[in-house]
Amino acid sequence: MFIRSTTALAAIFLLGAAPSSQAADKPTDPQIAHIAYTAGVLDVEAAKQALKKSKNKEVVDFAKDMVRDHEAVNKQALDLVKKLKVTPEDNPTSKALTKAAAEERAKLAKLKGAAFDKAYVASEVAYHKQVNGALETLLIPSASNAELKSLLETGLKIFQGHEQHAEHVAGMLK
Amino acid sequence: MMSRRHLWVALALATGAAPAKAETIEVTIEKLVFSPAKIEAKVGDTIRWVNKDVFAHTATVNGAWEVMIPPKKAASLTVKKAESVDYFCRFHPNMKGHLTVTSP
């Protein structure tokens, strides 16, 4: 969890605070779309791992909620990029998120039972917190298309809801 | 022909005997917001949540009741007792509403 958070955060700062001479200090709409979509896909993958490994009802229910919501929001995202004729563009933030998520999955793969449940849910709290921060401070303010911005705002509310839901499940596992 | 007095009595019975008609109070859910957030109802009224989101939501009162509201669908609850409660969505606990039910 720590590794994932720091790597991805570093990547987000890379985009946000690059003191470069380029005008492109902030991500473009095609990059933002890619980051948001990737963040959703990674959470679905994490949830699918939990569905395979966990036997705890609260954790399994939570993971199912994650799959359902993130697939729904990503379907909307795909429909929107198609409509806007935007091609999502890979970028350092998406790459760092993907790399960090793969590391986290490998770490979780070694755990079992209650240890897995706790680590997965803690990782979900941290992950949603981190993505919320990026949405609030970087992605939403940088989005230039109004429809993309609106979808990101809905995404932020979904993610904030998931963060609270994950915190609630974490509390029950104690 | 019915006398004026009889007519009056019949009318009084007809209106007085019928209990206050139960109403349906509609709450729209859009972009993870219950709207209106605060509603008032009388015992016997029905609350109808209309979910415009592509996400499933719930209207939940911890330890009391829960209404599941599937994406793009509506779900209803007929309120049976006077109470004033906060409710929320179990999937997205940042969604909050308040329901006040009074006796008719």
Give me the pLDDT at residue A7, please.
Answer: 52
Q: Tens digit of pLDDT for each residue in A153-168?
A: 999 999 999 999 999 9
Give me the pLDDT at residue B102, please.
Answer: 96
Give me the pLDDT at residue B5, please.
Answer: 60
Contacts of B31 in chain A (CB under 8 A): 153-154, 157
Give me the pLDDT at residue B8, please.
Answer: 55
Give me the pLDDT at residue A1, please.
Answer: 43
The token duo for B103 is 């006796």
User: What percent of chain A has pLDDT above 90?
Assistant: 84
Strands, E assignment, B1-104: 24-30, 33-35, 38-42, 46-51, 57-61, 65-69, 74-78, 83-88, 96-102
Q: Which of B32, B94, B95 sits opposite A154 (nearest CB)?
A: B32
Q: What average pLDDT does chain A have? A: 89
Mean pLDDT value of segment A31-56: 97
Q: Given this structure, which CATH class describes domain A28-173?
A: mainly alpha
User: In whole angstroms, what is the distance from residue A71 CA to residue A43 CA?
Assistant: 10
Higher pLDDT, B55 or A22: B55
* Angle between helix A57-84 and helix A29-53 axes, rounded to 10 deg: 160
Tokens 């209207």: give the residue.
B59
Higher pLDDT, A12 or B40: B40
A162 to chain B, any CB pair closer than 8 A? The answer is yes
Give the domains, in start order, of chain B with CATH numbers. Answer: 21-102 (2.60.40.420)
Mean pLDDT value of segment A99-119: 97
Domain boundaries, chain A: 28-173
Mean pLDDT value of segment B65-81: 96
Q: How far is B71 from chain A (nearest CA, A)?
A: 10
Mean pLDDT value of segment A67-90: 95
Mean pLDDT value of segment A107-127: 97
Give me the pLDDT at residue B104, please.
Answer: 79
Mean pLDDT value of segment B83-96: 96
Give me the pLDDT at residue B17, please.
Answer: 47
A172 to chain B, any CB pair closer than 8 A? The answer is no
Q: How far is A111 from chain B (nearest CA, A)?
A: 26
Q: Which of B32, B54, B71 sits opposite A161 (nearest CB)?
A: B32
* A108, A159, A169, A104 alpha-carbon torsion, rounded to 10°: 10
A61 to chain B, any CB pair closer than 8 A? The answer is no
* ipTM of the complex, rounded to two decimals: 0.81
Mean pLDDT value of segment A94-109: 96
User: In whole angstroms, what is the distance from residue B104 CA to residue B74 CA?
Assistant: 25
Q: Which of A65, A76, A154 sits opposite B91 (nearest CB)?
A: A65
Q: Which of B54, B56, B93 sits opposite A164 (nearest CB)?
A: B93
